[in-house]
């Protein structure tokens, strides 16, 4: 009996020990390339663009199929009045287009241009998703570093408060120093809680973008920067050369130009070669061939109206292209200036941080030698904490502005 009880308890213990912890989600280590790959794989916008490109590819094949003959089979059953039995007929018809006024060729070229435009749109969509992922990744890293700084501030002030309490309690300013330091510590703790909540919010945005579990913890890693255009002229030239949405706009203009030729082909004659085999499987079966030429003699101006409509569509596409060029130029100009501004701010905050670090170290040394009071130490530490936060914000603002500049110039890679 004791043996059975012992065996049962051991089995339960082993089961509980080996069971997974369903309430715990292990942190997921994600590099930036992995995040981009995950976002591109799961993005609905990318999937929609891929489907549009696949559909456009099939349109090319559909238009090319017009070059080939069509073969149809017809069965007829006719009941003639006063005839005792119905009459049957089987017909095999083959139709080969010889000339359609260039309509098929124009449709093929138009669909080819449209397909290339959808391919450009796919690449543009991937760049948009890549940029959004990089910005979200940088925001999460920035929030983490700000939280680390806030946590470090709490630890440093806690350590400083401990040192204050070790001083001679009979001094006149002892109580005031303790109260002042405790107030600073309470403020630092509140700031840490606020920044911690902000980090959770920012990280949740990255998690949502990557379509991960809402409670998934992430471990992110710092990433090297990418080179950006050094001058505004180079940036604008790169944008007008590499932006995929601009390439798509040019393709749309080409599509509209081929649309004029498609509409004009309706005014030209169509020539077909017909082969017909009649009364199949009957003794009197026969076959014949026919060359058919058809053209419109009067259509109330319909063909001319279609050509005019296509010409207006081409003019509209030209205006859209010029508008796109102006918009891209302005976007690139703004992105470049913001990048320059962020670069200047990063350098200035780095200098400010170095000066604040020196001043704080000097204040600590003077406080330990009783040449400075506690208020001076707290003031210099506040300046140092502000300098660190400003430097972190400026650093990641620089990274994000660089991403936006690369996005504006079309130089942002979608694969790493």
Q: Pull the structure tokens for residue 230.
A: 């050094």
Distances from the Cα of 7 to the Cα of 2, 12, 17, 24, 312, angstroms: 8, 9, 15, 30, 87
Highest mean pLDDT among 26-40, 130-144, 279-293: 130-144
Distances from the Cα of 194 to the Cα of 143, 200, 388, angstroms: 11, 10, 17
| pLDDT for the residue 25 | 60
Of the candidate ranges 29-38, 184-193, 194-203, the one whose mean pLDDT is the lowest: 29-38
| pLDDT for the residue 16 | 43
- Cα dihedral value 395, 401, 405, 411, nearest 10: 50
Span 49-91, pLDDT tens digits: 999 999 999 999 999 999 999 999 888 877 777 777 777 778 8
- When pLDDT is averaged across residues 343-347 and rounded to a whole number, the result is 96
Distance between alpha carbon 108 and the CA centroid of its chain, in Å?
A: 31
| pLDDT for the residue 14 | 47
Residue 6 forms part of a structural domain? no
- When pLDDT is averaged across residues 362-391 and rounded to a whole number, the result is 90
| pLDDT for the residue 77 | 79
| pLDDT for the residue 65 | 94
- When pLDDT is averaged across residues 329-357 and rounded to a whole number, the result is 96
Residue 248 forms part of a structural domain? yes
Task: Classify each residue of 270-307 as buried b or exposed e, where b means 16 or more C-beta atoms within 10 Å of its C-beta.
Answer: bbbeeeeebeeeeeeeeeeeeeeeeeeeeeeeebeebb
| % of residues, the chain, pLDDT over 70 | 93
| pLDDT for the residue 310 | 95
pLDDT band at 329 (very low <50, low <70, confident <90, very high): very high
Predicted confidence (pLDDT) at residue 183 exceeds the cutoff of 70: yes
Of the candidate ranges 8-22, 62-76, 270-284, 329-343, the one whose mean pLDDT is the lowest: 8-22
Residue 20 forms part of a structural domain? no
Domains held by the chain: number: 1
Residue 16 forms part of a structural domain? no
Residue 2 forms part of a structural domain? no
| pLDDT for the residue 18 | 46
Predicted confidence (pLDDT) at residue 23 exceeds the cutoff of 50: no
Q: Pull the structure tokens for residue 48.
A: 């929609």
Report the chain's mean pLDDT, rounded to a whole number: 89
**CB neighbour class for 59 (10 Å; exposed up to 12, middle 13-18, buried from 19):** middle
Predicted confidence (pLDDT) at residue 5 exceeds the cutoff of 90: no
- State the pTM of this model: 0.84
Residue 15 forms part of a structural domain? no
pLDDT band at 318 (very low <50, low <70, confident <90, very high): very high
> Three-state SS for 287?
strand
| % of residues, the chain, pLDDT over 90 | 69
Beta-carbon contacts of 356 under 8 Å, excluding residues fewer than 6 positions away, are 380, 383, 384, 386, 387, 388
Span 211-241, pLDDT tens digits: 998 888 888 887 777 788 889 999 999 999 9
- When pLDDT is averaged across residues 372-397 and rounded to a whole number, the result is 93
| pLDDT for the residue 308 | 97
CATH of the domain at 383: 1.20.1600.10
Span 263-301, pLDDT tens digits: 999 999 999 999 998 876 777 778 889 999 999 888 899
Residue 416 forms part of a structural domain? no
Name the residue range of residue 261's domain. Answer: 25-77+86-409
Residue 114 forms part of a structural domain? yes
């Amino acid at each position: 009996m004791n043996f059975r009880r012992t065996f049962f308890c051991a089995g339960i213990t082993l089961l509980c020990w080996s069971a997974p912890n369903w309430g715990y989600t292990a942190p997921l280590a994600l590099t930036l390339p992995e995040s981009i790959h995950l976002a591109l794989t799961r993005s609905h916008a990318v999937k929609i663009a891929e489907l549009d490109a696949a559909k456009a590819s099939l349109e090319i094949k559909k238009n090319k199929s017009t070059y080939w003959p069509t073969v149809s089979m017809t069965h007829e059953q006719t009941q003639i009045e006063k005839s005792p039995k119905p009459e049957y007929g089987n017909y095999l018809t083959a139709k080969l287009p010889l000339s359609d006024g260039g309509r098929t060729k124009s449709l093929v070229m138009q669909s080819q241009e449209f397909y290339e435009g959808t391919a450009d749109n796919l690449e543009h969509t991937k760049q948009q998703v890549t940029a959004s992922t990089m910005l979200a990744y940088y925001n999460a890293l920035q929030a983490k570093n700000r939280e680390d700084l806030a946590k470090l501030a709490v630890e440093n002030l806690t350590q400083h408060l401990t040192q204050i309490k070790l001083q001679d309690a009979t001094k006149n300013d002892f109580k005031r120093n303790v109260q002042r330091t405790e107030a600073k510590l309470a403020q630092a703790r509140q700031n840490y809680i606020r920044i911690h909540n902000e980090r959770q919010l920012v990280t949740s945005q990255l998690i949502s973008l990557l379509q991960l579990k809402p409670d998934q913890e992430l471990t992110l890693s710092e990433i090297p920067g990418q080179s950006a255009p050094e001058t505004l002229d180079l940036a604008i030239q790169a944008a007008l050369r590499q932006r995929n949405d601009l390439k798509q706009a040019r393709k749309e203009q080409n599509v509209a130009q081929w649309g004029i030729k498609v509409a004009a082909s309706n005014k030209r004659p169509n020539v077909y070669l017909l082969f017909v085999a009649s009364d199949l499987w009957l003794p009197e079966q026969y076959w014949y061939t026919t060359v058919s030429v058809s053209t419109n003699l009067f259509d109330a101006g319909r063909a001319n109206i279609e050509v005019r409509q296509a010409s207006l569509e081409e003019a509209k596409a030209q205006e859209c292209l010029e508008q796109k060029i102006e918009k891209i130029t302005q976007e690139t100009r703004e992105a470049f200036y913001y990048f320059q501004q962020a670069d200047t701010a990063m350098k200035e905050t780095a200098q400010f941080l170095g000066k604040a670090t020196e001043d704080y170290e000097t204040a600590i040394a003077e406080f330990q030698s009783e040449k400075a009071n506690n208020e001076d130490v707290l003031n210099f530490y506040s300046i140092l904490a502000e300098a660190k936060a400003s430097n972190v914000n400026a650093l990641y603002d620089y990274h994000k502005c660089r991403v936006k500049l690369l996005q504006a110039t079309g130089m942002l890679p979608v694969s790493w």
